Amino acid sequence: MEHHPNIEVYRSTKDLEQNAAKRIVLIINKAIRERGNCFIALSGGETPRPVYHLLGTPPMKDQVDWSCVHLFFSDERIVPSTDIQSNYGMVDRELISHIDIPRKNVHRIEVEKKPELAAAEYERELREIVSDVVRFDLVLLGIGGDGHTASIFPETAIVEEKKAFAFAVFVPHLNSWRVTLTFRSINNAREVLFLVSGKEKAPIVQRVLKSPKPRKEIPATMVQPVEGNLLWMIDRDAAGENEKL
Ligand code: 6PG
């Protein structure tokens, strides 16, 4: 297995979570130092939850001037924010409700609207707040066993979407609507960070590592920041037998 410069393997999940939270604080503070603010898109799912908890707890919560940070979401399930499936709900419980961030800086996807309207509204906000080219300082991503990332699933039209920065997509096997960032906004970011843990992810991590070039059957391989850094932070379980990555 050739060396992968953009993969860091951590001895334990806890170690991964601690280092991921520290890395996020560094990226946020660098953006604030350089540009006075920070635009970050947070991924959903279970993997990042402990990282958000660390960011919302001392000492890390006190290491960031949250009034300079704008929180967006890499994707959202079209369910009420109170639903256990809601990414916004999870981030609110673990992070937002514990930090001094102005409400106007939290850009939730308006799940009360029809998915296409929610996506159009989110796109407008992305262009207006982040910039007309939607260049995030950091996009956080996870990966599903099927190679999806954000809510870009294999063999869906959105894999090829080139124009929109955000899109509504119905996911048949989940029987649910999602709104997600597209690769256009993801690959425009200054930093893209994949957080992956657990042995159930080892097979897909291997498939991604063995796919040197982007493959639409494995959407996560299409995350190739145009002018930005890509980093995979994974634990040993997710690295599988290639712990010496
Ligand atoms: C979502 C995420 C999704 C997630 C992967 C991994 O809203 O579900 O954006 O892309 O990152 O499905 O999820 P886990 O971290 O729960 O394994």
**How much is the average pLDDT of 158-176?**
94
What CATH number should be reported for the domain holding residue 61? Answer: 3.40.50.1360
Residue 244's pLDDT is 55
Statement: residue 209 has pLDDT above 90: no
Residue 197 near ligand 1, beta carbon < 6 Å: no
In a domain, 244, yes or no: no
Position 99 in a domain: yes
Q: pLDDT digit string (tens) for 86-102? A: 999 999 999 999 999 99
pLDDT given for residue 1 in this prediction: 35
- Please state, in angstroms and rounded to a whole number, the distance separating the CA atoms of residues 27 and 24: 5
CA of 123 to the centre of ligand 1 (A): 21
For residue 239, the model assigns a pLDDT of 95
Q: Which of 75, 192, 196, 222 to mutate to test the pocket of ligand 1 (most atoms within 8 A of CB)?
A: 75
Strands of 30-91 (E only): list them.
38-42, 69-73, 75-77
Number of domains comprising the chain: 1
Single pTM value for the model: 0.96
86 CB within 6 A, ligand 1: no
**Is the CB of 142 within 6 Å of ligand 1?**
yes
Decide if pLDDT at 3 tops 70.
Answer: no
Q: Is residue 1 part of a domain?
A: no
Question: What is the three-class DSSP state of 124?
Answer: helix
Q: Identify which of 149, 199, 237 to mutate to test ligand 1's pocket (most ligand atoms within 8 A of the CB).
A: 149
Query: What pLDDT was estimated at residue 131?
Result: 84
Instruction: Summarize the confidence of residues 141-165 as an average pLDDT.
Output: 95
Range of the domain at 35: 6-239
Interval between CA 33 and ligand 1 midpoint (Å): 30
> Tens digit of pLDDT for each residue in 22-65?
999 999 999 999 999 999 999 999 999 999 999 999 999 999 99
For residue 130, count other CB atoms closer than 10 A to its CB: 23
Taking only the tens place, the pLDDT of each residue in 68-82 is 999 999 999 999 999
